[in-house]
Amino acid sequence: MLELISEHACFGGSQRFYRHQSAATGLPMRFSVFLPAEAAPGKLPALFYLAGLTCNEETFMMKGGAQRVAAREGMVLVAPDTSPRDAGVAGEADAWDFGVGAGFYVDATEEPWSKNYRMYSYILELRDLLVAELPLDAARIGIFGHSMGGHGALVLALRNPGLFRSVSAFAPIAAPSRCPWGEKAFSGYLGADESSWRAYDASALMSQANAPFPNGILIDQGLADKFLGDQLYPEAFEAACRHAGQPLELRRHAGYDHGYYFISTFIEDHLNFHSASLGA
């Protein structure tokens, strides 16, 4: 059951914040939804946005500047939180890149995280829930995200191309098995056996795929991004796409950093990309 926390008129539609009890995480979870004014009755295309480290369900809706375009395209936007909150794990809020605000969109298998830190399953649960409860067209749902959320979007799409029909990312952590953020998160949540990490590594998944998104994948990357050198590795994903025959548009932008000024600059291109891919 969805509990509506707040609702705000926005570009002729409705910006909403919800809470619900999640089966995947075993905890109450928050998420936000932008519902455009419906031009016609019926189901609407939808786009899930996965946010990055330290973010929550509000960040994208407040800073991304996406609602104006989503209203024009008649597209629903969904932004989940980035981790469970108040799981009661000792020290879970001590670091900004692990634990609270840093769920990494994986299903943890290691104690004490495995009971609640199950964000991979949570995103799938939320998709199903919103298809049932809100006017989302199950056949026209895409996914995108930023940084940790770009990693999550790529992994969820590559593992579930029938559920997420289009995918894009801003500055994704594209090869988490080999970067400090990913090594810390995966060893903590998944354990020392690196073979289990491959299921959550977009570059590893793509290297074994067979062009799952024929309409292409869009990635934007700022060249003044302070995390580009040691955390993101877009070139690894680019090489994996080449190997898999997967069309990829990887745009490198001089002068742009890792933040929401970068995201909001190119957000319209991403919504247009998904709208065209989903036949919105």
Ligand X SMILES: N[C@@H](CCC(=O)N[C@@H](CSC=O)C(=O)NCC(=O)O)C(=O)O
Q: Which residues, at least 6 apart from 47, have a Cβ–Cβ distance to it below 8 Å?
A: 70, 75, 76, 77, 78, 141, 142, 143, 144, 271, 274
**Residue count, binding to ligand X (CB under 6 A):** 13
Task: Let me know if 225 is a catalytic residue.
Answer: yes
Q: Which residue number places its CB atom closest to ligand X?
A: 52
In the shown chain, the binding pattern of residues 221 to 260 toward ligand X, with x for contact by CB under 6 A and - for none, equals -------------------------------------xxx
User: How deeply is 46 buried, as exposed, middle or buried, from its count of CB atoms within 10 A (0-12, 13-18, 19+)?
Assistant: buried
Q: Is residue 52 within the footprint of ligand X (CB under 6 A)?
A: yes
Q: Is residue 53 within the footprint of ligand X (CB under 6 A)?
A: yes
Q: What is the dihedral of CA 109, 112, 116, 120, to 10 degrees?
A: -30
User: Which C-beta is closer to ligand X: that of 10 or that of 148?
Assistant: 148
Q: Which residues, at least 6 apart from 104, have a Cβ–Cβ distance to it below 8 Å?
A: 119, 148, 151, 152, 176, 182, 185, 186, 189, 200
Query: Are 248 and 203 within 8 A, CB to CB?
Result: no
Task: Let me know if 258 is a catalytic residue.
Answer: yes
Task: Let me know if 8 is a catalytic residue.
Answer: no
Catalytic: which of 22, 32, 83, 147? 147
Query: Are 168 and 140 within 8 A, CB to CB?
Result: no
Catalytic: which of 258, 270, 274, 277? 258
Cβ 132 to ligand X shortest distance, Å: 30
DSSP element (H, E) containing 80:
strand 76-80
Q: Is residue 186 within the footprint of ligand X (CB under 6 A)?
A: no
Cβ 73 to ligand X shortest distance, Å: 24
How does DSSP classify residue 104? T
CA distance 184 to 247: 31
Give backbone dihedrals phi and psi of 191, rounded to 5 degrees, phi first. Answer: 100, 180
Using CB under 6 A, which of the segments 51-59, 160-168, 187-195, 212-220 binds ligand X? Answer: 51-59
Q: Is residue 96 within the footprint of ligand X (CB under 6 A)?
A: yes
CA distance 167 to 214: 11
Cβ 173 to ligand X shortest distance, Å: 7
Partners of 13 in the beta sheet? Answer: 10
Cβ 115 to ligand X shortest distance, Å: 24
In the shown chain, the binding pattern of residues 130 to 169 toward ligand X, with x for contact by CB under 6 A and - for none, equals ----------------xxx---------------------
The count of C-alpha atoms lying within 13 angstroms of the C-alpha of 218, restricted to the half-sphere facing its C-beta, is: 20
Catalytic: which of 107, 201, 220, 225? 225
| Chain residues 54-73 in contact with ligand X, contact rule CB under 6 A | 54-55, 59, 63
- Residues of this chain that bind ligand X (CB under 6 A): 52-55, 59, 63, 96, 146-148, 258-260
Residues with catalytic annotation?
147, 225, 258
